[in-house]
Amino acid sequence: MSWFFYALLAAFVYSCSIVTDKLLLTRQFKKVSELSLTTAAALAGIPLLAVFLVFVRPFPDLNTLAYGLAAGWLLILAYQLYYIALRKADAALITTLFQLVLPFNFIVGMVFFDEKPTLLQVAGLLIISLGATLISLEQKERKWRLRTDVLLLMASASLLLSTSDAVFKNAAENIPFSTLAVSEYASSVLAGLLLFICVPKVRRELMSIRTKLSQTFGVLEFNELLTLGGTVAIRYALVIGPLALIQGVMGTQPLMVMVMVGVLGIFGIRMEAKAKKRNPLQHTLIKLVAIILVCTGSIFISGAASSL
């Protein structure tokens, strides 16, 4: 069960990164596009990549680079959709909807890795789907409706993330983990360079906030380190453990994010301006029930419930 601890570490680190992303989007990057944030985050990884290239051996060959580019660029596309959704909604909602990766991982695990889910895990999957639907509800005037825009964005991001996980897991069967991880990380830096060079809008936006960018470079670097740490932890867990069960442990993220946002609120750090809602207590209770459902479903999927 050593994969469990790596997955739990990844869940915590990713939760910290999501909260940091939300702060960046609502403050320093409030007036620029999500593509510019993706580029800035990727370019902030250049010093880290330089360090890895000094210590990691062997260097990636062309075959490893091909797998790394495939897994890495799928991940970048997933995060681009995630940034768009995160600007539209609060961090707890987005983190909960990221658990939609579980249905896709179940399909990928069964088709490509011969993984066979139990009835308890299927029940957990249904509970997570219910929680994701519940937390996507919002009240407009006196009617409740699904936030289909955010739901579709996060479903697409989850599909891309699951595909990236499958590519990495398949490649790691024949390629050293550290070499493959560096290759994947290099793809992110390469994507950032290409976006900066080839997309005029990205250059204009980043140049327009260069003062803020220099002031927040440390935050970007720290957040990139968080993302990298979470990615390495989850990738290693995926190599040594079953795809679907590992993502089940990741279902603890919504609760972690909710606690982090609450703690920051106590210290006066708010993610966004307070919105006037009908029945705010009802909204909070619905969100809490949805998060509890997702965490419960994740326990079922991870197999922890069978040992109780």
pLDDT tens digits, one per residue of 159-197: 998 888 888 888 888 888 888 888 888 888 888 899 899
Instruction: Give the end-to-end CA distance of the chain in Å, rounded to a whole number.
Output: 16
Whether the ω angle into residue 242 lies within 30 degrees of 0, i.e. cis, is: no
Question: Which of 46, 6, 58 is CA-nearest to residue 178?
Answer: 58
pLDDT in the model for residue 305: 45
Higher per-residue confidence, 27 vs 88: 88
* Best-predicted range by mean pLDDT (7-21, 125-139, 192-206): 192-206
Of 205-209, 226-230, 243-247, 251-255, which gets the smallest average pLDDT?
Answer: 243-247
Residue 243 has pLDDT above 70, yes or no: no
What's the whole-model pTM score? Answer: 0.75
Phi, psi of 137 (to 5 degrees): -75, 140
Of the candidate ranges 22-31, 61-70, 75-84, the one whose mean pLDDT is the lowest? 22-31
Q: Which tops the pLDDT comparison, 243 or 214?
A: 214
Give the domain extent around 180: 2-307
Question: Highest mean pLDDT range out of 123-132, 137-146, 191-200, 299-308?
Answer: 191-200
Residue of higher predicted confidence among 284 and 153: 153
pLDDT in tens, 203-241: 998 888 777 777 777 787 788 788 878 878 887 887 777
Does residue 150 have a pLDDT over 50? yes
Q: What is the phi/psi pair of residue 134, to 5°?
A: -65, -45
d(CA 213, CA 40): 8
Q: Which two structure tokens, joined as six digits, stand for 133? A: 């639907």
Label residue 199 by pLDDT band (50, 70, 90): very high
For residue 281 the two structure tokens come to 């207590």
Tell which wins on pLDDT, 141 or 300. Answer: 300
- As for how many domains the chain has, the answer is 1
Alpha carbons 155 and 98: distance in angstroms, whole number = 7
